[in-house]
Amino acid sequence: MEDKPLQSFLALKDSSKRSINSDWKIELPGDFELAGTTVRYVRRGLWEKISAKGPTKSPLHLMVLLFHDQSYGIHYEYTIPLNTSQDRISEKQREPEYLYIWAHSSWQNCTVQCGGGERSTVVSCMRIINNSMEVVSDNYCHSETRPQAKVQRCNTLPCQYRWVTGEWGPCSASCGKGLQQREVSCVYPSVNGSLRHTKDLYCHGGKPAVQQGCEDDACLTTWEASVWSECSSDCSQGVRRRTVLCKNPDGGCDPFSKPSQEEPCEDDSKCYEWKFGDWSKCSSTCGKGLQSRVVQCMHKDTGRHGDNCPLMLRPPIYRSCYRQSCFVKVHMPEEILTHEVAP
């Protein structure tokens, strides 16, 4: 079942190609025969659920149709025969030569880097083989006898955190006002004397500035550029242009520092269009019913899903349908309808 209602659809297919919600057709809720069992498909609004009592006799493939939700989640459950776990128990019983015990295998990292913290041991299930031990799954040891982890103090030296600043980088503007940046880190001395970086919250006092304003007065040229034009293409790659003029009163603008007048651009505002599949079968065998189909906004060239299609032009997803009348006229022979009256 879906973790939450979404626009996508669950789809199911078995090895014989029988399916639910496949080939771009959305089925109505109901019972379907797949993988040798009856599968029930439930849909309430945007929420879906697929269930089967089983047992299944062939593999089932679970899919998601029209997947475009990044937070999509599916909850699933299944059952297996009990003799599988019994076989594992019998395998453990056939290993009497092994001894399984709980042991403190290693120490975890200290909770802090300095100033006094704690670390605890890792309790693992060990198998003893020929006077040696190896770590195995905890299932081999009895959970009732599992010991508590040992805890001890660690990194008790006082912390000596301080700010370290790097050199200022170059100005972002070669002419006029700009910005320059530098690295600022919180560090502390390690045992061997080297400085190690840590989180900013450990350093006291305000953090030094990481950027500042700058200005270069050596402006040899003064170029002035207009705003960029719209992209020449409203679908895929194009070009946009602008006007660049020399504003130096002396007219001596450096051509090597002239800003670009043309650059590539991409606009996909009109690359998407509505795509739709075939209508499904009528939901009713007689009288009025309902048909559905898949309608999706897709890229003209790549087929990628999107949301840039105009909603006013969206084709309908459902339509009514009509099969033959549910009431059938019965024509009786004329001789059955008449009878003879005695004189």
Residues 197, 170 contacting (CB under 8 angstroms): no
Q: Tens-of-pLDDT digits for all 343 residues of the chain?
A: 887 777 788 888 888 888 888 777 788 888 999 888 999 988 888 888 899 988 888 888 888 877 665 666 788 888 776 665 555 555 555 544 678 889 988 888 888 777 778 899 999 998 888 777 888 999 889 888 899 999 999 888 777 888 999 999 998 876 667 899 999 999 887 766 678 888 888 888 889 999 999 876 555 557 888 999 988 887 778 899 999 888 776 666 777 788 899 999 887 777 888 888 899 888 888 888 898 999 999 887 777 888 878 888 889 989 999 888 777 665 666 555 555 545 4
pLDDT at residue 74, rounded to an integer: 82
Cα–Cα distance, 258 to 13 (Å, whole number):
62
CA 149 to chain centre: 37
Q: Reduced to 3 states, what is the DSSP secondary structure of residue 168?
A: coil
Q: Reduced to 3 states, what is the DSSP secondary structure of residue 222?
A: coil
Residues 255, 261 contacting (CB under 8 angstroms): no
pLDDT at residue 307, rounded to an integer: 82
Q: Reduced to 3 states, what is the DSSP secondary structure of residue 201?
A: helix
DSSP letters along 10-30, please?
Answer: EEEEETTS-EES-TT-PPPSE
CA-wise closest residue to 155 among 203, 105, 107: 107
Q: Tell me how many degrees the CA angle 23-29-34 measures, rounded to the nearest 5.
A: 60
pLDDT at residue 124, rounded to an integer: 92
Residues 276, 295 contacting (CB under 8 angstroms): yes
- pTM comes to 0.27
pLDDT at residue 238, rounded to an integer: 86
Q: Which residue has the tokens 């897709």?
A: 298
pLDDT at residue 181, rounded to an integer: 94
pLDDT in tens, 271-287: 888 888 899 888 888 88
pLDDT at residue 182, rounded to an integer: 94
pLDDT in tens, 240-280: 999 988 877 666 677 778 889 999 988 777 788 888 889 98
pLDDT in tens, 214-230: 876 555 557 888 999 98
Cis-peptide into 81, omega within 30 deg: no
Q: Reduced to 3 states, what is the DSSP secondary structure of residue 296?
A: strand
